[in-house]
């Protein structure tokens, strides 16, 4: 087994200068800290939701200036997210994109237009040839080379390691009981990367040249990885201590942070032994057989629904009176399906179904997660075309949190709680 790698994230806040300009004749190489000195903290602590505003459109219909990233705080007030530099200056660099990694940490990427502008200004100040002096004309975009980790509680920014894969907002991101963050990346091939916020390190967990399609993580940090779309057929478990444990059962699933598998019609639990081994324990028999298994957590009843008509509570598996209608919009209290303007809802508490309609707004994007009972949405109001950010509460009430100018379309919504 080849040795894993560990990369240390800088613990310096960005008022700290880590290097100086290198000189070669009359030419000075650009100092990346010219960017970093403008990246120290972001006013995100009280944010309830975050979203990007598209710039107002011109008369010709083309998109205008980048609208920036905005927040709605716990009191319902809207304001722009502002980066403050170590020199106290604000808004020198704008945020282009934010991705939620965990309850505590966000991945923040500044706007390429602003970082390029600072680079161009620095070049002009250090260039003795007037003919070479230029101005920034780059489009807005993600300056991924200046990615930051943002601590939501302290509002401080930390430098992400250069030349290392960053979490993709479209991929699965997991956390364990200690708050470590796991994501799929690349380092000499596909990897599961573990970001430890307490020590600010990133560790590659799998041996080199491992091929896998997806993974999951137990509460104790045991990484389960497999080929194919489903968590099935010959999964492998990478123990924190280094041992790789093969599981040949048909399906595996994680419930309440623990790893289970289906063997014929039996549920097996894998209890952790220290940090380097697993011990099998037969839990119960499944009331009916099947060739395909689907597992959906129920956060209210603290159970997992299997194949929509079975329920497992960690000790026994029982057959439900009816099939549960499980939608792809999932909160901490219910499952939803949206069809045009109609929401179909199944309550996790008792599996009762209901419907409600959102008829006054055109919903364009939704954000829901297992940490909140609400659904956040963006769209526009039919009565006047105004762009809105809203919330659908557990009681099916529609609350409008913000109304934007007609030209400033709201996109990339992230619900934080």
Could you give the CA distance from residue 205 to residue 58 in angstroms, rounded to a whole number? 49
CA 379: distance to chain centroid? 22
- Give the number of other Cβ atoms within 10 Å of residue 250's Cβ: 18
How far CA 1 is from CA of 207, 216, 272, in Å, comes to 6, 21, 22
Could you give the CA distance from residue 251 to residue 310 in angstroms, rounded to a whole number? 15
CA dihedral 347, 352, 358, 359 (to 10 degrees): 180
Question: What is the chain's pLDDT, residue by residue, as a tens digit (417 residues)?
Answer: 444 566 555 443 433 333 333 444 455 677 888 899 999 999 999 999 998 887 644 333 333 456 789 999 988 888 999 999 998 999 899 999 999 999 899 999 999 999 988 888 888 887 766 655 566 667 888 899 999 999 999 999 999 987 788 998 888 999 999 999 999 998 888 899 999 988 888 999 999 888 898 999 999 999 999 987 666 667 999 999 999 999 988 889 999 999 999 998 899 999 999 999 999 999 999 998 888 889 999 999 999 999 999 999 999 999 999 999 999 999 999 999 999 999 999 999 999 999 999 999 999 999 999 989 999 999 999 998 888 899 999 999 999 988 876 556 777 888 887
- Give the number of other Cβ atoms within 10 Å of residue 103's Cβ: 12
């Amino acid at each position: 087994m080849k040795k894993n790698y560990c990369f240390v994230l800088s613990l310096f806040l960005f008022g700290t200068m880590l290097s100086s300009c290198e000189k070669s004749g009359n030419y000075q190489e650009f100092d990346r800290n010219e960017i970093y000195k403008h990246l120290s903290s972001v006013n995100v602590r009280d944010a309830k939701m975050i979203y990007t505003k598209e710039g107002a459109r011109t008369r010709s219909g083309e998109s205008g200036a980048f609208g920036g990233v905005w927040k709605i705080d716990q009191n319902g007030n809207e304001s722009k997210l502002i980066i403050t530099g170590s020199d106290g200056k604000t808004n020198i660099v704008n945020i282009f994109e934010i991705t939620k990694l965990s309850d505590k940490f966000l991945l923040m990427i500044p706007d390429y237009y602003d970082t390029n502008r600072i680079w161009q200004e620095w070049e002009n100040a250090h260039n003795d040839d007037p003919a070479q002096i230029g101005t920034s004309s780059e489009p807005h975009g993600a300056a991924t080379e200046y990615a930051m980790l943002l601590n939501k509680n302290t509002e401080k920014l930390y430098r992400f390691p250069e030349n290392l894969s960053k979490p993709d907002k479209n991929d699965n991101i997991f956390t364990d009981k200690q708050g470590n963050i796991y994501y799929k990346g690349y380092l000499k091939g596909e990897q599961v990367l573990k970001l430890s916020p307490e020590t600010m390190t990133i560790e590659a967990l799998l041996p080199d040249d491992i091929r896998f399609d997806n993974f999951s993580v137990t509460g104790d940090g045991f990484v389960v990885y497999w080929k194919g779309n489903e968590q099935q057929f010959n999964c492998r478990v990478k123990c924190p201590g280094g041992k790789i444990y093969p599981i040949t059962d048909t399906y595996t699933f994680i419930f309440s942070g623990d790893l289970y598998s289906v063997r014929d019609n039996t549920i097996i639990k894998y209890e952790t032994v220290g940090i380097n081994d697993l011990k099998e324990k037969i839990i119960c028999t499944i009331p009916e057989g099947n060739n395909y298994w689907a597992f959906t957590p129920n956060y209210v009843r603290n159970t997992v629904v299997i194949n929509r008509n079975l329920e497992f509570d960690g000790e026994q598996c029982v057959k439900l009176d009816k099939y549960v209608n499980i939608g792809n919009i999932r909160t901490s209290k219910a499952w939803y399906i949206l069809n045009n303007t109609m929401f179909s809802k199944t309550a996790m508490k008792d599996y009762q179904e209901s419907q409600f309609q959102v008829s006054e707004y055109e919903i364009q994007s939704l954000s829901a997660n297992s940490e909140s009972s609400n659904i956040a949405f963006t769209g526009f109001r039919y009565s006047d075309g105004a762009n809105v950010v809203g919330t659908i509460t557990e009681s099916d009430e529609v609350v409008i949190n913000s109304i934007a100018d007609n030209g400033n379309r709201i996109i990339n919504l992230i619900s934080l709680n």
